[in-house]
C-alpha cells in the first residue's frame, strides 16, 4: 500500500507484503523445530506428549485466528473504501475482544486438561507428559491471542515488517530458553519438557510486548481516540468472523483428531507424524504469507472497486505461491533421507519418514493452489461459503482418516495421503464457487 493508501499489485508489491509474514512464519517453524529437536533428544514420550499438547493449544487458538482473519479483512476493506478511522476503530475493538477471548480460552483449556482431552490418550507415559506440559502451556493464550490482533492490523494495512521484527525477537527468546531449560545449557538446571512449555510462553509474551511498543511508536493513532465499533458494526463484524472462526477451528480440530487417531496405530507412527508436521510448516511458511496477502488484496481491491485488477493479481499470487513451495519443499523429493536422518537413527523409522515425505511433497504442491482459492473467497467477504466448503472437506477427511487408522490401520505413509484428499476437496469446492464469478459483483458488504 503506497503513501496514498492505494494497493499496488505488482510482483514486488505482493512480495513486499508477503515476505515479512512468511519470514515470521519461518521463525515459528524454527521455534517448532527447535522444540522438537530438544524434546526428541529427551524421549519419544516427551515429543509425543508435548506435540499433542501443542496441537490442542493451536486448536483452541483457532478461535482467535479466525477472529483475527476477520479483523484483517474488515481493516483492508475500510482502507480500500477510504475510511481509515473506521479501520483503526476496528483494530481497537478487536484488541479488546482478543484480550477477553484469551481469558476465556485459558479457562476452557484448564477444564479440558483435567479430563476430556488427556483421557483420550491411550499411552500413560504420553498422557503424563501431555498433562504437565499443557497445564503450563495454556498460560500463553492471553498474550498470543492479543498479539494476533496486532498482526491483523499490519496485514490489513499491508505494512507487514513489524510482524517480522516481532517474530525475530520471539523466536530468539524461545530458542535460547529451550536450550537452557530443556537440556540445561550454560549451567542452567534442566527441567525437561516443562522447560519447553515455559520457553514458549516467554516467547509469546515477548512478542506481545514488542508489538505494543512498535505500534505505539509508529502508529500511535491506532490507540487514540479510544473509540470502538458501534453495536451494529460489531454485529456486522461478527457475522463475517464467526464462519472464519468455525472454519479454522474445524480445520485444526480435525488435524488434531488425526494425530490422536495415529497414536492408536503406534508410537513410531505418531513420531513420524509429528516430524512430518514440522516439515509441513515449511509449506505453511509460504502459504501463510500468500493467503493473508490474498485476503488483504481481494478485500481491498473490491472495496476500491478495482475489479479489473483482480484476475492479474490472483495469477501473480498463484505463481509466487507455487514457486515458493518448490523453493522450500524440494528436499522432500531430492534428499529425503538426509532429512529423515535428523530425527531417526533406526532404519525402520527412517524408511517410514522418507516415504511419508514423498507423499507430503504432492500434498503441499496441491495446497499451494487450493489455499489461495479458499482465501480468495474469504477476502471477498463470503466467509459462510468458505465455511461450507471446509465442512464438506473435513467430513470426507475424517471418514478417510478414521478408516485407515482405527478400522483398517495402514502404514504411516499411506495414512498421510488423507491430507491430499482434504486439499483436493477444498480445491474442488472452491473452484465450483469461484468459476461462477458472482463473488466479484456480489461481495458481501462488511
In a domain, 6, yes or no: no
CA 202 – CA 204 distance, rounded (Å): 6
Q: Pick the closest to residue 410 from 370, 359, 364 (CA basis).
A: 359
User: For the chain, what is the radius of gyration of the CA atoms?
Assistant: 21
Give the angle subtended at the CA of 87 by the CAs of 83 and 92, to the nearest 5°.
Answer: 145
In a domain, 99, yes or no: yes
Q: Pick the closest to residue 236 from 374, 81, 77, 385 (CA basis).
A: 77
Instruction: Give the structural domain span for 292.
Output: 11-441
What is the pLDDT at residue 118?
A: 66
In a domain, 4, yes or no: no
The whole-number average pLDDT for the span 23-46 is 74
In a domain, 287, yes or no: yes
In a domain, 50, yes or no: yes
**Residues in CB range of 125: below 8 A, 6 or more apart:** 45, 49
CB crowding 4-39: b at 16 or more within 10 Å, else e: eeebebeeebbbbbbbbbbbbbbbbbbbbbbbbbbb
CA 44 – CA 358 distance, rounded (Å): 23
In a domain, 264, yes or no: yes
Which tens digits make up the pLDDT trace of 238-257? Answer: 888 888 888 888 888 888 78
Across the chain, mean pLDDT equals 87
Fill in the DSSP letter of residue 166.
Answer: H
Phi-psi group of 266: left, alpha or beta (phi > 0 → left; psi -120 to 50 → alpha; rest → beta): left
What is the pLDDT at residue 299?
A: 85
CA 46 – CA 271 distance, rounded (Å): 10
CA 327 – CA 395 distance, rounded (Å): 32
How large a percentage of the chain has pLDDT more than 70?
A: 95
Q: Is 164 in contact with 178 (CB distance < 8 Å)?
A: no
CA 67 – CA 419 distance, rounded (Å): 25
CA 39 – CA 165 distance, rounded (Å): 27
Residue showing cell 536422518: 341
Band (322; pLDDT cuts 50, 70, 90): very high
Residue 48 has pLDDT above 90, yes or no: no
Number of domains in the chain: 1
What is the pLDDT at residue 2?
A: 46
CA 153 – CA 76 distance, rounded (Å): 9
Residue showing cell 515459528: 28
Which tens digits make up the pLDDT trace of 86-108? Answer: 899 999 999 999 999 999 999 99
In a domain, 446, yes or no: no
In a domain, 1, yes or no: no
Which triple of cell numbers denotes residue 90? 476496528
Residue 420 has pLDDT above 90, yes or no: yes
Amino acid at each position: 500500500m503506497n503513501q496514498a493508501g492505494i494497493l499496488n499489485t505488482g510482483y514486488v508489491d505482493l512480495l513486499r507484503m508477503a515476505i515479512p509474514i512468511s519470514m515470521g512464519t519461518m521463525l515459528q517453524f524454527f521455534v517448532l523445530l527447535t522444540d522438537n529437536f530438544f524434546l526428541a533428544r529427551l524421549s519419544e514420550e516427551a515429543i509425543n506428549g508435548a506435540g499433542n499438547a501443542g496441537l490442542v493449544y493451536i486448536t483452541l487458538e483457532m478461535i482467535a485466528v479466525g477472529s483475527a482473519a476477520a479483523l484483517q479483512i474488515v481493516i483492508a476493506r475500510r482502507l480500500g473504501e477510504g475510511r481509515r478511522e473506521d479501520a483503526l476503530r476496528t483494530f481497537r475493538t478487536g484488541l479488546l475482544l482478543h484480550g477477553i477471548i484469551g481469558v476465556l480460552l485459558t479457562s476452557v483449556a484448564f477444564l479440558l486438561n483435567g479430563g476430556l482431552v488427556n483421557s483420550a490418550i491411550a499411552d500413560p507415559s504420553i498422557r503424563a507428559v501431555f498433562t504437565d506440559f499443557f497445564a503450563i502451556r495454556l498460560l500463553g493464550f492471553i498474550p498470543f491471542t492479543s498479539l494476533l490482533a496486532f498482526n491483523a492490523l499490519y496485514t490489513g494495512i499491508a505494512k507487514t515488517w513489524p510482524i517480522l521484527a516481532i517474530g525475530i525477537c520471539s523466536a530468539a527468546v524461545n530458542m535460547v530458553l529451550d536450550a537452557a531449560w530443556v537440556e540445561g545449557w550454560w549451567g542452567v538446571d534442566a527441567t525437561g519438557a516443562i522447560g519447553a512449555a515455559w520457553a514458549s510462553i516467554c516467547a509469546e509474551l515477548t512478542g506481545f510486548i514488542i508489538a505494543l511498543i512498535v505500534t505505539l511508536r509508529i502508529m500511535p493513532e491506532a490507540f487514540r481516540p479510544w473509540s470502538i465499533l458501534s453495536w451494529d458494526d460489531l454485529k456486522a463484524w461478527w457475522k463475517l468472523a464467526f464462519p472464519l472462526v468455525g472454519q479454522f477451528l474445524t480445520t485444526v480440530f480435525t488435524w488434531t483428531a488425526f494425530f490422536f487417531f495415529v497414536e492408536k496405530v503406534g508410537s513410531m507412527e505418531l513420531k513420524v507424524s509429528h516430524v512430518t508436521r514440522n516439515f509441513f510448516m515449511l509449506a505453511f511458511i509460504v502459504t501463510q504469507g500468500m493467503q493473508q496477502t490474498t485476503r488483504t488484496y481481494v478485500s481491498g481491491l473490491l472495496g476500491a472497486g478495482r475489479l479489473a485488477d483482480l484476475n492479474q493479481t490472483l495469477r501473480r499470487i498463484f505463481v509466487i505461491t507455487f514457486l515458493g513451495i518448490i523453493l522450500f519443499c524440494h528436499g522432500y523429493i531430492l534428499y529425503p533421507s538426509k532429512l529423515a536422518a535428523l530425527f531417526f537413527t533406526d532404519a525402520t523409522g527412517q524408511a517410514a519418514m522418507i516415504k511419508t515425505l514423498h507423499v507430503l511433497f504432492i500434498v503441499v504442491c496441491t495446497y499451494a493452489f487450493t489455499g489461495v482459492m479458499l482465501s480468495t473467497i474469504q477476502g471477498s467477504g463470503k466467509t459462510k461459503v468458505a465455511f461450507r466448503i471446509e465442512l464438506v472437506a473435513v467430513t470426507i477427511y475424517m471418514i478417510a482418516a478414521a478408516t485407515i487408522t482405527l478400522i483398517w490401520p495402514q502404514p504411516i505413509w499411506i495414512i498421510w495421503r488423507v491430507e491430499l484428499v482434504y486439499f483436493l476437496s477444498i480445491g474442488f469446492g472452491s473452484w465450483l464457487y469461484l468459476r461462477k464469478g458472482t463473488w466479484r459483483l456480489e461481495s458481501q458488504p462488511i
